[in-house]
Amino acid sequence: MDGTPPFDVERVRSSFDFVGQGRVATNNAASTQLPRELLQLYGELVPQYENVHRGQSDASVRMTARFEAAFDTIADWIGAPSRRTISIHRNTTEAINLVMYTLLTEFRDGDNVVTTMMEHNSDYVPWYALCHEILPRFGRRVECRIARFDHETGALDLDDLAELVDDRTKLVCCTGASNFLGTKPPLPEVRRIADSSGYPQPNGERRSWLLVDGAQLVPSALVDVEALDVEFLAFSFHKFLAPLGVGVLYAKEHLRRGSLPFLYGGDMIAEGRVTPDRVEYNALPWKFSAGTPNILGVVASAEALRLTIDLTGADPGRTWFRSADRIPRAISGAAMARIAAHTTSLTQRAIASLSTIPRLRVFGVPQGEVRAPLVAFTVEGLSPFAIAAALNTRGVESRAGCHCATLAHHDLGLDPPASCRLSFYLYNSTDDVDRAVEAVRAAVAVTTG
């Protein structure tokens, strides 16, 4: 024992108003719920609100300092060396589009990009568009290759990935955790494969760059971008307790320096350095911050990280929410370990119970093995949409559809390409799981007669 009290889900739940409405909030892979503390913070920040980098008032100076400090908190949380590696976007999708648009000019004729069959559309469609629609208009041929996964276990086929990656692979794009199969691909192995390609990058490196879609990974585990040695990591705060509208891209500083900007306009230029003939860009990270950003969303997102420590009880000796102190890795690691332990036990409980329901098929990672805190399933003879609707009548929130993992649904031969998914977060209780599974059992029983 490390001396910290056990994870107390009832205490966590007391911070969430949705609980009082009797909701079983089990669609967390789409978006998580907002803790009351963040709503209160919003309410307090609104009367103090001023734009950042655009005013000399005390209010603007204070808001700018808070906004900029939020970048430090976010950078620290993912093990990034400095705020210069962080840019803020609307969501993971926009962050990945940044990578695509800023590399657009860098692909050479005959290059390829390798992604996987288990990607969310936001980590496939941009690469599809690049290779099939955008670059052909410039007369450049770049191939998009897709690595397979094992249909039984959901494991990424590393041999296939290694076959696809060659000395023309500029970029490998891989999810950190599948939002459908639950698979957490072994990123060090993926890194090793990308490293061995020998692709000559313009900065002299001879390896493929690696983009990790962290949308499901970052809210469920502590990620260290330096240890993983990824070039790019994208994730969204609306899946990590914070309000909607904040996505993050980590990118190595030398790549940001050497890259063209993504969006052009105000604030991303060096103060006063715009003439008819020459435009100079702002210092990092503001070179990638065109236009007025989601200021309160960014501040609240950093506070969501601090609050996570308090909610999980990872550091009972003090309060991190609203503190200005840098968070040690040991503390953020302890908080994420607690979230992982709790949500893993809920997920395993759900899979064990669901597996006893006749005609029900769970997709992806086998029971008992490491997976993201979600479970997707189908029931023979029953539409996933009908299951989700039946669950809803019992107050259980699920999601039916392809969850934007459209490639994987087609690859598994699902027709229609749909499954029903339950996904868990730190405020879910075992009672939530049991209510959800019983609702599925009841829906199946009705159709069985």
- The Cα–Cα gap between 26 and 39 comes to 21
Q: Which is nearer to ligand PLP, 334 or 400 (CB)?
A: 400
Least CB distance to ligand PLP at residue 214 (A): 8
Among 15, 27, 236, 289, binds ligand PLP (CB under 6 A): 236
131, 173, 174, 404: which one is catalytic?
A: 404
Footprint of ligand PLP on residues 212-231 (CB under 6 A)? 213, 215-216
Least CB distance to ligand PLP at residue 233 (A): 12
- The Cα–Cα gap between 96 and 115 comes to 13
Q: List beta partners, residue 200.
A: 206
Binding mask 195-214 for ligand PLP (x = CB under 6 A): ------------------x-
Gyration radius of the chain over CA positions: 22
Query: Of the listed pieces 68-76, 89-97, 143-151, 386-394, which binds ligand PLP according to CB under 6 A?
Result: 89-97
The residue length of the chain stands at: 449
Tokens 């409980």 belong to 349
What tokens appear for 305 in the block? 């990280």
**First-last CA distance in the chain:** 50
Angle 423-128-252 (CA atoms, 0-180°, nearest 5)? Answer: 75
Least CB distance to ligand PLP at residue 298 (A): 15
Query: Of the listed pieces 61-69, 76-84, 119-127, 222-230, which binds ligand PLP according to CB under 6 A?
Result: 119-127
247 binds ligand PLP, rule: CB under 6 A: yes
Instruction: Say if residues 242 and 297 touch (Cβ distance below 8 Å).
Output: yes
Least CB distance to ligand PLP at residue 235 (A): 8
- The Cα–Cα gap between 282 and 112 comes to 32
- The Cα–Cα gap between 447 and 243 comes to 39
Question: For residue 407, what are the CA distances in angstroms to 82, 117, 169, 273?
Answer: 36, 6, 21, 46
- The Cα–Cα gap between 252 and 268 comes to 18
Q: Which is nearer to ligand PLP, 284 or 375 (CB)?
A: 375
In which element (H, E) is residue 198 found?
A: none
Among 92, 112, 208, 423, binds ligand PLP (CB under 6 A): 92
Q: Which is nearer to ligand PLP, 15 or 91 (CB)?
A: 91
Binding mask 5-34 for ligand PLP (x = CB under 6 A): ------------------------xx----
Least CB distance to ligand PLP at residue 213 (A): 5
Among 28, 93, 112, 301, binds ligand PLP (CB under 6 A): 93
Residue 103: burial class (beta carbons within 10 Å; 0-12, 13-18, 19+): buried
User: What beta strand segments (E) does 206-266 contain?
Assistant: 209-213, 232-236, 247-251
Helices (runs of H) and strands (runs of E) counted in the chain: 15, 15
Q: Which is nearer to ligand PLP, 217 or 295 (CB)?
A: 217
- Is 404 known to be catalytic? yes
Q: Which is nearer to ligand PLP, 85 or 216 (CB)?
A: 216
Footprint of ligand PLP on residues 147-186 (CB under 6 A)? 175, 179
Query: Of the listed pieces 19-27, 90-98, 140-148, 440-448, which binds ligand PLP according to CB under 6 A?
Result: 90-98
Q: Which is nearer to ligand PLP, 213 or 231 (CB)?
A: 213
Q: How many C-alpha atoms does 280 have within 13 Å on its Cβ side?
A: 5
Least CB distance to ligand PLP at residue 411 (A): 16
Q: List beta partners, residue 298.
A: none
Least CB distance to ligand PLP at residue 113 (A): 17
- Residues with catalytic function: 404
Q: Which residues bind ligand PLP (CB under 6 A)?
A: 29-30, 91-93, 120, 122-123, 175, 179, 213, 215-216, 236, 247
